[in-house]
Amino acid sequence: MSTEITEQVLYRKKVEEQSRIIEEQKKHLEKVLEDKDEFFSVISHDFKTPLNVIITAIQAMNNICGNELPEKAKKYVGMIKMNTFRQLRLVNNLLDITRVDTGNIKINKKNINIVFLTKAIVESVQTYAAQKNIDLMFICPFENKIIGIDDEKYERILLNLLSNAIKFSPESRSIVVKLISKKNKVNIEVKDYGIGIPEDKKAIIFEKFGQVDSSLSRRAEGSGIGLSLVKRFVVAMGGCISVKSKMRKGSTFIVQLPDETVTDEGNDNEVADLLDNRLIQSTKVEFSDIYF
């Protein structure tokens, strides 16, 4: 009898000890993950500063003596600029994904005419589409639709979908951006007639680093962060995203946002401001992956 009790006590002690060890390991792991996020955040900021300085210096050089540069030098300056934007895109994406994952994403909703904004974003991309002889259309059956959105996030979402649509379309195809008003929702559809996405990869592409072809040669062209960030932004704005696709026929990405205005607007920057500098810069950054 006493041996049985001793065994029970020993067993209980062993279970308690194991629980304690598991709890300690869990805490350690949480700390490591927290440190990793902080490290990423700090390092990304430090990466960004010199990149912005390089971009400003190149712009200044172009303004001051752009015309005097020999053709060969212009080509090299162009390469430096394009790759700096590319690096900035990666750093921005890494920083944002860390922010979202640590719950530090700030959604700054304002009441905005989504028709006007979408049209402006589509127009900012026309030159990139034209270089591939792609006919980029914007279709919307209504002229105004005011909803509460974070314009900066919306711009990143649409630019990302559009850069993918161009990147994964052969020359001379069409891309259609459509706005549709549905009961309590607004749909933004980006339809291409490109290479398409295999059925078994449709979920993976919205995951961090998820690519259809993740071979090293393909990775050089992109990091697979774009769509995971797009999904996180859409969800953070109270919406959802889905994709319909057929191999070699094309893909349609559908972003669905709530058709509602906000009473407490984040800040009152005019949307027109966006059309001046930020959109031009964001388009260059977002399209830096595409070389023609």
Decide whether 43 or 212 has the Cβ nearer to ligand ADP.
212
Classify residue 15 by burial, with Cβ atoms within 10 Å: 0-12, 13-18, 19+: exposed
> Is 205 one of the binding residues for ligand ADP (CB under 6 A)?
yes
d(CA 53, CA 244): 41
The answer to whether residues 239 and 220 touch, using CB atoms and an 8 Å cutoff, is no
d(CA 166, CA 89): 17
* Nearest in space to 226 (alpha carbons), one of 39, 96, 116: 96
Beta bridge partners of 110: 149
d(CA 183, CA 258): 9
> Is 120 one of the binding residues for ligand ADP (CB under 6 A)?
no
> Is 194 one of the binding residues for ligand ADP (CB under 6 A)?
yes
> Is 44 one of the binding residues for ligand ADP (CB under 6 A)?
no
* Nearest in space to 190 (alpha carbons), one of 236, 238, 121, 141: 121
The answer to whether residues 156 and 282 touch, using CB atoms and an 8 Å cutoff, is yes
Stretch that binds ligand ADP, among 5-13, 19-27, 149-157, 163-171 (CB under 6 A): 163-171
Compute the least distance from the CB of residue 226 to ligand ADP, in Å.
Answer: 3
Mask for 47-66, x = binds ligand ADP (CB under 6 A): --------------------
Among 192, 234, 255, 286, binds ligand ADP (CB under 6 A): 192
Stretch that binds ligand ADP, among 48-56, 133-141, 193-201, 264-272 (CB under 6 A): 193-201
> Is 162 one of the binding residues for ligand ADP (CB under 6 A)?
no
> Is 212 one of the binding residues for ligand ADP (CB under 6 A)?
yes
Residues lying near ligand ADP in the complex (CB under 6 A) are found at: 160, 164-165, 168, 192, 194-195, 197, 205, 210-212, 222-228, 251
